[in-house]
Structure 1
């Protein structure tokens, strides 16, 4: 201090250009996998979640874990009493959870495992091969990118996705990536059959004719959305998928053995346990709407 003056040094943090970081990331067309493969040790700022988004990620309700609904579909269409029991269980799950798992659903476990393997084959390809599918044109039938809402969401998620429209107008096989082409076509056929069965059960659960939801077109469309979650160097700073509800009728989810799916149930996050051969069924916003809010579409995250 000289002559009664105090010298104060102020260090300014360099300005953060979020748009530039988004553009730089998107221009690589390598996605989050490209970042992971590069060996980064720090999560880029565009992926860092707000504190309130990740504050309770590890706070999972243990007392609700054991009661997450798992429904055996083996008796559907067979013995009337067993059939009604299944419909009642589905009704209860849709009204209380908006989520449930199904076993004995008719899709062979080998086919499920091959579907997961097909997704891995796509993302394990050289980046120059994957790049040919990279697009943000939502009119495309096949879309590979990282975060469809990259430029509109407040924070990016640590995931890449390949999205394929499979019905009502089936794609020419040549339109699909070779790495997962055959399994996509085969799995989609089986998924359509299961979807038809589920919509019949849901119709009965609503007190309607079994064919009602299929008749009004709920089961006509099918899109395959496969998310890929690379290893993250700072997993406590980001999420695979932020909390959201699905804007569709019904989503059937196939988890790998790692899991990570969490459902918000009665203000508590519940981990959906990965069960070999099981599929997770999720009520969407549109099904909640046409059920007059009898069935609930709830928030979930990965």
Structure 2
């Protein structure tokens, strides 16, 4: 594994130069780069701490069918039990028959692509590191503090509790971001109800303590990489969010850490991956001891 040995001031200068382009990783490809710059080289320890599972049949990633969740207590109880088990053993699970049309999911992915693949000068209008804004375009939130830069650009949309005005959202994604936000909020309410019931609480418990108050949509874009062995689109991390719903692209590549092994999440058309998040996990543990 190749790592950076350049002095810190050289790295800082390289990061500033990259940031000042306001073109992100996509801009590097547009400029014709054929080698991954040192700022993107991931540390060797990223590949040494844990192993990738060699026998996929050893683990079965939880897939939960939400069909019938509103049709009767028996079906709902079975779904709640599956969510409880998946949350306790994995912290992740995939949901199908969740109520969001496949057409909406595909258009959401297309809307993110349209933004990132449009004229660079149009994108620069949204480029900022002011994270107080409702709509931000940038490359790597932690650009100046992370040991390695991820090969990724992002446009976040803060859609709740104080959503942006429609005209603040890029025209390339405006309609679908607003439609998708409504759908994913409805799904979020349902998942929080089911998680509350899995904890032995009233269905509205997590909503009543404001777990459903915010909605942040992250439109990640992973350009083709000329030397993928040197970098990652998203390095290993833990999510502190109460509840994260992940919409995978066709290429996959998403992995979760389970029993000290990195395991590929299966790709299923229309399926969504749910991460209960560190804060919700901590809340669940606390409730179990009360």
Equivalent residue of 2:52, what SS?
coil
Residue equivalent to 1:145: 138
Q: Secondary structure at the match of 1:161?
A: strand
How far is 1:113 from its partner?
0.2
Cross-structure match for 1:10: none
Hey, what does 1:191 align to over in structure 2? Answer: 184
Q: CA RMSD in A?
A: 1.8
Dislocated runs of 4+, deviation >3 Å: 13-16, 54-58, 63-66
CA spacing shift, 1:39–1:58, aligned 2, 3 Å: farther
1:23 corresponding residue in structure 2: 16
CA distance in 2, matches of 1:82, 1:95: 20
Check the 8 A contact 1:159/1:241 in 2, yes or no.
yes
Does residue 122 of structure 1 match 2:132? Answer: no
* Shift, 1:255, TM fit: 0.3
Q: Is 1:157–2:150 an aligned residue pair?
A: yes
Q: 1:54 touches 1:238 (CA, 8 Å); kept in 2?
A: no
Q: Tell me how far apart the structure 2 counterparts of residues 57 and 161 of structure 1 sit (CA, whole Å).
A: 27
Structure 2 residue matching 1:209: 3-state secondary structure? coil
Taking a change above 3 Å as real, the CA distance of residues 59 and 292 of structure 1, as seen in their structure-2 partners, is closer
Q: Secondary structure at the match of 1:196?
A: helix
| Residue among 45, 50, 63 paired with 1:52 | 45
What is the alpha-carbon distance in structure 1 between the residues aligned to residue 131 and residue 222 of structure 2? 22
> TM (normalized to structure 2)?
0.93
* Alpha carbons 1:123, 1:130 under 8 Å: kept: yes
Q: Which range moved further: 93-102 or 70-79?
A: 70-79
Between structure 1 and structure 2, the one with the greater Rg is 1
Residue 95 of structure 2, aligned match among 95, 102, 109: 102
Output the TM-score relative to the length of structure 1: 0.90
**Correspondence 1:216 to 2:219:** no
Q: Which runs of 5+ in 1 are unaligned?
A: 1-12, 296-302
CA apart distance, 1:40: 1.3
> Residue 245 of structure 2: which of 230, 249, 252 is its match?
252
User: CA distance change for structure 1 residues 14 and 258 in 2, over 3 Å: closer, same or farther?
Assistant: closer
Asked whether the equivalents of residues 114 and 183 of structure 1 are also in contact (C-alpha less than 8 Å), the reply is yes
167, 191, 195: which one aligns with 1:174? 167
The answer as to 2:125 corresponding to 1:132 is: yes
Matched, 1:91 2:84: yes
For this pair of structures, how many residues does the alignment match?
283
Q: What is residue 268 of structure 1 aligned with on the other side?
A: 261
Correspondence for 2:284: 291
Separation of aligned partners in 1, 2:87 and 2:254: 17
1:121-168 deviations in Å (ceiling 9; x for gaps): 001111100000000011111110000100011111000000011011
